Amino acid sequence: MKPESIGALITGRRLACALLLLVVSVSLAANWLAPGGYARQYREAAGAPPSAAHWLGTDDIGRDRFARVLYGTRISLLLAPAAALLSTLMAALVGGLAGYMGGLWARLAMAATDLFLSLPWLFLLITVRAVMPLNVSPMASVLVTFSMLGLLGWTSAARVLCARTRSLRDADFVCQARASGIRGMRLFWIHVMPNLKPALYAQFWISIPVFILSEANLGILGLGVAEPMPSWGSLLKELEGLTSIGEEPWKFVPLILLVVVVTLFQFALSKQEEVAA
Amino acid sequence: MLGWRIARHGLALVAIVLLGGLLSATLVRLAPGFDVDEEQLDPHLSAESVRALRETRQQERNVFSYWLHSMQRAVKGDLGTSLSLGQPVTTLLRDRAPLTLKLVSMGLLFSWAVAMAMALSAAWLRASAYDALTTCLSGTFLCIPAAVLALLSVLWNVPGSLAIGLIVFPRVYRYARNLLAKAYSLPHIITARAKGLGELRILFWHVVPVTGAQLLAVAGVSVSMAVGAAIPVEALCGLPGVGQLAWQAALSRDLPLLMNITILVTLVTLLANSAADVFGHMLRGQDA
Amino acid sequence: MMRCQIFSSAPRGIGRGINQRAIAFSFATLAAFVWLFVGGAVAQGGGELRFCLRSEPKTFDPLKVDDDASESIRYLTGGVLVRMNRQTQALEPGLAESWQVSKDGRGIAFNLRSGIAFSDGTPFSAEDVAYTVQQLMDPALHSPTGDAFRSGPGNVETKIISPTQISITFPAAVAGLDRLFDQVAIESAHSPKKEMAVLGPFVVADYKAGASVRLKRNPNYWKSDAQGRKLPYLDSIELDIQPNRDVEMLRFKRGEIDLINALDSDYFDKLAATSPQQVHDAGPSLDSEQMWFNEVAKAPIPGYKRAWFRSQNFRRAISEAINRADLSRVVFHGHAQPAVGPVSPANKFWFNAKLKAEPYNPEAALKTLQADGFHLDNSVLKDRDGNSVVFSIITNAGNKSREQMAVMIQEDLQKIGIHVNVVTLDFPSLIARMTQTFDYEAILLGLTNVDLDPNGEMNLWLSSSDNHQWNPQQKTPETAWEAEIDKLMRAQASSADAGKRKEAFDRVQEIVYEQAPFIYLINKNALSAVSTAVHGAHPVILHPQTFWNAEQLTVGK
């Protein structure tokens, strides 16, 4: 890649980080930007289109959609990346270690991963909900939800990481490191792990919107964000009732915001060496 | 020797599949709502009838013995009867599997074609604007809920396999894009380009051997992604496949159906990932 | 080749005149022929009706029906002895020309039509009725249809007097006996096709599991219209299995299906804006939405909460603090009205017109709570022991209107200092909490009423019943008012006097209003959509709303 493009990339990355920070800051300023709050029901203006009073209109029971987008950003933007990080680390541990150790361990780990991929975890989540008290705080509920997602969402990446690690085991630089006396976990963490970054970044980036959407779907099990607290996932569920694209386009704002944030994450994560060619 | 290895792999496969059946039965059995039925809320039912309804699932209470009996019956070709639909599970799966197979296969073909086309063109063009565009496009589809994509496919009268493809392709694209970007940044690729080698030659001779094993792993995993995506797509588009059956079975805690569907999915996942492993191993062997 | 002389040789004027008459006559004949043919075609080629079932039918056996989808198929294929006209709500002769209920309410005698055959040609006679009744009353059957007749222990007796006369005697009086036969589709005692041989207007022609059920006209259907034309007019009915209401709506808008029962209010408004002639609001339905508190003694909830829920003042205060008018207006877009009690005003005979919906009055609610020692402490309501009033309401996920109602109730109760947690659960989990573990505090659910006669809800009101939702399976009534309800319900069940029954059930409604074990919220309107291609449809409030007169519908441009 040409030096100008590298410069553009670095500028792009900084811009992406800055914009992400802006989004986070705006969501944290929700108390001032939307003083009415996310729960107040303007029942006389239920389902209203955008207006001066309600910039993105109101939802079906009259709650200000702009306020709900702002407050929902806090939940989703903070917790989804945290859950994504958890799943990425677990994938790295399981897949990376399995591929590094090789042999029977790798086969066992991958068989367990395949089994993990196939089981109906929906029922584990139902059981988790049953065990939780009904009067749990909304924050506790959402923390449990994202933790479960992080703990269950690592399997796809584990396989890819295992394949990558297997090929790295016999790479020249690894042999050289081994020959110079570096072995075991030290070899794994210092020399092998950094080379797993492409798959790790991919897993992290994919997991963010997947977990945001899954959180909303888990609402049918009683998990997820409890009413009246909003989340991006619950806002996106409004799209399911639309029968045409042109109808109520303001309902697409949470989707656009999610796409923008996910794209910004990708730009923020991209490294110089990935496009060094 | 080869025969022994195949037999060993086959036995391992069977053991894992059976374990999958047992674990799924356990998960379903332990989840609340297992032995209740919406019917028992009907105020017309007498007390005896409500009690009789509660007793119908008695034999499933002990998971292990239920699983054992089911496996014994399965050997004879009897997979039990669906509690919610009242039909033999064998018939249900046999009638619906071809549709799901077709949807998933077409969906995977579409997703890989689009993902690889975008990833390769991004690697070749090496233009950050194009990279940004493809990132944005794949990000958009990653952010659209599967239910909305399924509804849009009904709205626009497009096949369900397209919806599955659109759900899977952003994930495949991201992995492929990152793997290819990393591969194309390796010194020997830069050298090859500098020496004027064509992109196709570089791709097949120098990039595929490096990334092939991982891309095959992604391929194996994408099968599970597609099977998972089939559930909301079939349920919403009204397509009578195994995905729709799985959703219905989950809602009604239909243990015979759920256990057998899990066994089927485990088998498919294992086969796909094992094939990816085998081919990956062959590629690594060539590379060495 | 013979030529027509009349056109070649006759003088011009006369020839033209004769030609014109001939042509006119030919056209008239042709027109008459077309009219007769087309008219006949409308009668006998009424097209195909298409609509959606919201779930997979669980059975085609009419005696075992217990879900909506199977009930729809039974309605369309089953031949019944008496049919309740869903529009007039009056009983009409079906397979029985006439019937007589005995004075003690235990027996009923039918005079059956003669010369009728099942769809496969097997002749129909009293023997088939006897067979059906015996099957229905088999204790091992455990079906709601059969259990509705079970008023006391003992066996049912059927006496075949002749091939067209039968009398049936039950061990105890059955309230509303004749009306119950509207749900009993007669099965053949002799047909090799068993329950698939039917007497109704349509017969199941094809079933693709997960996809569709196709019904075709029953060629042996006994009924004709007033002009003597054989019914049904329709050639076939295609029932697609489609649980998703959004997709159902899409398909209706595209013209792929012809009608929607129980249309959601927001879709009603969307359709009304573009095609007002396609939507129908038949007024308040029999269905209600309500919430109740857990009063079960062994429930795993804190004792102080159980004390709240068992307090009449607490329940009445909650009822007063809920803005039902807002629920109707916001959630149902005005297509609902505040509910009064267990009976909808649409049920004109059984509704207790003296009762009025609880008005929204948070100040009165607070006063009622103060009578029980509750007080506001910094906008938080606390009981006399200082416990903050916090409880959860669970409802079934996937029902948008219930989820919205729960959130609105949450805000209403917040205004009187009560903190409510809304939890949506999948239905089996909810049922498990409601009927097995009793691990809940409040539930918001709905009741779909298919009967006008409240005797069908006997098991809801009897304190010993499994379905006495707020506190089931009581060995003896735990409160005086529940004991009184038990007495009243048993009295009305054993009486054949409609007036006495009404009096007893009016009193039940009053007790329920005073004690509020169920806090009735709203009665939804019966909304439906019918394509303009469908002719003869008159949507009503009773199930099935839009196709109750399917045998007289036609589909065509």
Q: What is the pLDDT of residue A221?
A: 76
With beta carbons under 8 A apart, name residues in chain B contacting C286: none
The CA distance from A16 to the nearest CA of chain B, in Å, is 12
Select from A150, A153, A3, A6 the least CA-distant residue to A82.
A150
Task: List chains adjacent to chain C, taking adjacency as at least 3 C-beta pairs closer than 8 Å.
Answer: A, B
Residue C277's CB is within 10 A of a number of other CB atoms, namely 10
Q: What is the pLDDT of residue B129?
A: 85
Ranking B61-75, C65-79, C253-267 by mean pLDDT, the lowest is: B61-75
Whether the CB-CB separation of C530 and C275 falls below 8 Å is answered with no
With beta carbons under 8 A apart, name residues in chain A contacting C426: 126, 220-222
pLDDT score of C7 more than 60: no
Angle made by CA atoms B245, B237, A222, in degrees to the nearest 5: 65
Q: Which residue of A lies nearest to B12 if distances are taken between CA atoms?
A: A111
* C544 or B39, which is more confident: C544
Q: Two tokens at A8? A: 């553009």
Alpha helices for C86-236 (secondary structure H): 126-136, 144-147, 177-180
Residue range C312-326, pLDDT digits in tens: 999 999 999 999 999
Asked if the peptide bond before residue C232 counts as cis, ω within 30 degrees of 0, the response is yes
Q: Which among B38, B44, B238 has CB closest to C240? A: B238
What's C345-387 look like in SS3?
CCCCCCCCCCCCCCCCCHHHHHHHHHCCCCEEECCEEECCCCC
Report, as an integer, the average pLDDT of B174-190. Answer: 86
DSSP C244-278: -HHHHHHHHHTTS-SEESS--HHHHHHHHHH-GGG
Q: What is the pLDDT of residue B144?
A: 87
Q: What is the pLDDT of residue C26?
A: 46
Residue C268 CB partners (closer than 8 Å, separation 6+): C279, C281, C333, C335, C527, C529
Residue A115's CB is within 10 A of a number of other CB atoms, namely 20
Chain B contact present for C384, CB below 8 A: no
Q: How far apart are CA C388 and CA C382, in angstroms?
A: 4
Say whether B238 and C244 touch across the interface (CB within 8 A): yes
With beta carbons under 8 A apart, name residues in chain A contacting C429: 126, 129-130, 221-222
Q: Two tokens at B5? A: 């290895």
pLDDT score of C413 more than 70: yes
Q: Which among C147, C431, C460 has CB closest to B38? A: C431
Say whether A135 and C397 touch across the interface (CB within 8 A): no
Q: How far apart are CA B118 and CA B133, in angstroms?
A: 10
Residue range C35-93, pLDDT digits in tens: 444 444 444 578 999 999 999 898 999 999 988 999 999 999 999 999 999 999 899 99
Say whether B145 and A119 touch across the interface (CB within 8 A): no
Q: What is the pLDDT of residue B248?
A: 86
Q: How far apart are CA C281 and CA C332, in angstroms?
A: 12
Pairing type for strands C165-169 and C107-112 reads antiparallel
Q: What is the pLDDT of residue C557?
A: 67
What's the DSSP call for residue B112? H
Burial of B210 from C-beta contacts in 10 A (0-12 / 13-18 / 19+) = buried
Say whether C330 and A61 touch across the interface (CB within 8 A): yes
Q: Which residue of B lies nearest to C446 if distances are taken between CA atoms?
A: B41
Q: How far apart are CA C249 and CA C278, in angstroms?
A: 12
DSSP B48-98: HHHHHHHHTTGGGSSHHHHHHHHHHHHHTT---B-TTT-SBHHHHHHHHHH
Whether the CB-CB separation of C206 and C213 falls below 8 Å is answered with yes
Report, as an integer, the average pLDDT of C440-451. Answer: 89
Helices B63-75 and B2-30: crossing angle in degrees, nearest 10, is 140
Could you identify the residue written with the tokens 């097209």? C47
Chain A contact present for B32, CB below 8 A: yes
* C442 or A201, which is more confident: C442
Task: List chains adjacent to chain A, taking adjacency as at least 3 C-beta pairs closer than 8 Å.
Answer: B, C
What's C486-503 look like in SS3?
HHHHHHHHCCCCHHHHHH
**Tens of pLDDT, residue by residue, chain A (277 residues):** 555 556 666 677 888 888 888 998 998 898 898 888 999 999 999 999 999 999 999 999 999 999 999 999 988 888 889 999 999 999 999 998 898 888 888 888 888 998 888 888 888 888 888 888 889 888 888 888 889 999 998 988 888 888 888 888 878 888 888 888 888 888 888 888 888 888 888 888 888 888 888 887 787 777 888 889 898 888 888 887 766 667 788 888 888 888 888 888 888 876 544 443 3
Q: How many cross-chain Cβ pairs, A to B, lie less than 8 Å apart?
A: 181
The CA distance from B257 to the nearest CA of chain C, in Å, is 14
Say whether C403 and A227 touch across the interface (CB within 8 A): yes
With beta carbons under 8 A apart, name residues in chain B contacting A130: 31-32
Could you identify the residue written with the tokens 């916090």? C390
Residue C180's CB is within 10 A of a number of other CB atoms, namely 20
Q: How would you classify residue A245: left for phi > 0, otherwise alpha for psi between -120 and 50, otherwise beta? A: alpha
**pTM, to two decimals:** 0.89
With beta carbons under 8 A apart, name residues in chain B contacting C238: none
Residues from A in contact with C at Cβ < 8 Å: 39-41, 43, 46-47, 60-62, 126, 129-130, 134-136, 219-222, 226-228, 240-241, 243
